[in-house]
Amino acid sequence: MQDQIQNACRMCSTECGQSFIISSISENSKIKKRLCDIGITKGTMLTHLFDSPMGDPAAYLVRNTIIALRHCDSANIEVYKL
């Protein structure tokens, strides 16, 4: 548990190639339901694949599907790095 707390960060601050598990999604997020609909839920493992040339959005591997999320949306997701 202590390691998870030390490795906690926002999804938007992860680097390419890092894998992580979602620990929470902000209740204030306007797109929380949509994130859940595409499989981004607490306990889901994701991998940050790459950033777009301008840095926003970023591509993530979620349940064998590649999705793109904007920085402002991924800032509402708290994760811990593996």
Q: What fold, for 2-81? A: SH3 type barrels. (2.30.30)
Tell me the pLDDT of the chain averaged across its residues: 87
The secondary structure of 5-54, three-state, reads: HHCEEEHHHCCCCCEEEEEEECCCCCCHHHHHHCCCCCCCEEEEEEECCC
Q: How far apart are CA 78 and CA 10, in angstroms?
A: 5
What pLDDT does 5 receive? 57
What pLDDT does 43 receive? 92
Helix (H) or strand (E) holding 73: helix 71-74
1-12 pLDDT, tens per residue? 555 556 788 888
Both structure tokens of 6: 């030390």
Q: How far apart are CA 64 and CA 71, in angstroms?
A: 21
